[in-house]
Amino acid sequence: MNNSLNIEPLSGALGAEIGGVDLAGPLDDATIAAIRRVWLEYGVIFFRDQNLPEARFLAFARRFGAVIEYPFVKGLEGFPEIIPVVKLEQERVNFGGIWHSDTSYLEAPPMGTMLIAREVPPRGGDTLFASAYLAYETLSEGMRRMLDGLVAVSSSAKADVSRTREDRVRASVRPDAKAEYSAEHPVVRTHPETGRKALYVNVGHTLRFRDMTEAESAPLLSYLFAHQTRPEFTCRFRWRPGSIAFWDNRCTLHNPINDYHGYRRVMHRITLAGDTPR
């Protein structure tokens, strides 16, 4: 079955659409292994026109790893592992609307995230993705050598990202959510499956370097935040109902574009457990 997969790269940096597979049907181990290989090669993969109700969506995600719950927002009724990512017509702030790597403020951030589109605006609402591999590999030798020894502090309470969660958290906050989560991770992490190094900071969550103040850290972090989202490191995905994105949280960043005020956008998200960055 895996021989029928049709792989269409989206850009020179990362991202590929996979066609020729019905994710609602039976998928043998060879097909799942083939999809995983494409995912590891391209960092983020996309599927179109998939009819996956909640139970089937969850079953597909579990073929790739253990599913975990998001720390802030309650999941769907009957499916707590699936969280709704919603922007309503009257809302101005979109959930997670800033460049980020998912929940890097956790001790063991997610391995990956799956997102399926249920309702999309007639235009706008695309998502940008960026390669953290290229962000690291294109730095000078001297910069890479310096960064290899640094550790970054990430926080869920960083002001910019807190604002992108405000409407959803207010409406559906988990009763067991902490006021703040924070963690320390290497600025350069080695991918546990590919062995490639990736720049592991992001403007959404990274506050400072360990043993430095925010003010001391700001100049270098500002450079890295701008560098890692250069256009040549990115791809852009336009959603349709039934579209799925599955990104590797260990080597990519993403940014949902907030350009569809007055329209509703409804997505369902599943998060897969990861390991502690090394």
Give the burial class of 190: count Cβ atoms within 10 A of its Cβ; 0-12 exposed, 13-18 middle, 19 or more buried. Answer: middle
Give the burial class of 140: count Cβ atoms within 10 A of its Cβ; 0-12 exposed, 13-18 middle, 19 or more buried. Answer: exposed
In this structure, the strands spanning 16-19 and 44-47 are: parallel
Distance between CA atoms of 227 and 82, rounded to whole angstroms? 33
Residue type, 244: I
Asked if 269 is an active-site residue, the reply is yes
Asked if 100 is an active-site residue, the reply is yes
Q: Which residue in the list 102, 167, 185, 189 is annotated as catalytic? A: 102
Q: Which residue in the list 100, 185, 191, 208 is annotated as catalytic? A: 100
3-57 pLDDT, tens digit per residue, is 579 999 999 999 999 999 999 999 999 999 999 999 999 999 999 999 999 999 9
Distance between CA atoms of 15 and 243, rounded to whole angstroms? 14
In this structure, the strands spanning 67-68 and 44-47 are: unpaired
Local structure of residue 122 (DSSP, 8 states):
S
Confidence (pLDDT) at 3: 55
Distance between CA atoms of 99 and 188, rounded to whole angstroms? 17
Distance between CA atoms of 102 and 112, rounded to whole angstroms? 8
Residue type, 255: N
Confidence (pLDDT) at 230: 98
Q: Where are the domains of the chain?
A: 66-272
Confidence (pLDDT) at 208: 98
Asked if 56 is an active-site residue, the reply is no
Asked if 275 is an active-site residue, the reply is no
Low-confidence ranges of the chain (pLDDT < 70): 1-3, 159-179
Confidence (pLDDT) at 85: 94
Q: Which two tokens stand for residue 246?
A: 């599955």
- The phi, psi pair for 170, rounded to 5°, reads -65, -35
Q: Please, what CATH class does the domain formed by 66-272 belong to?
A: alpha beta
DSSP 47-62: E-S----HHHHHHHHT
Q: Which residue in the list 189, 254, 265, 268 is annotated as catalytic? A: 254
Q: Which two tokens stand for residue 137?
A: 């590999």
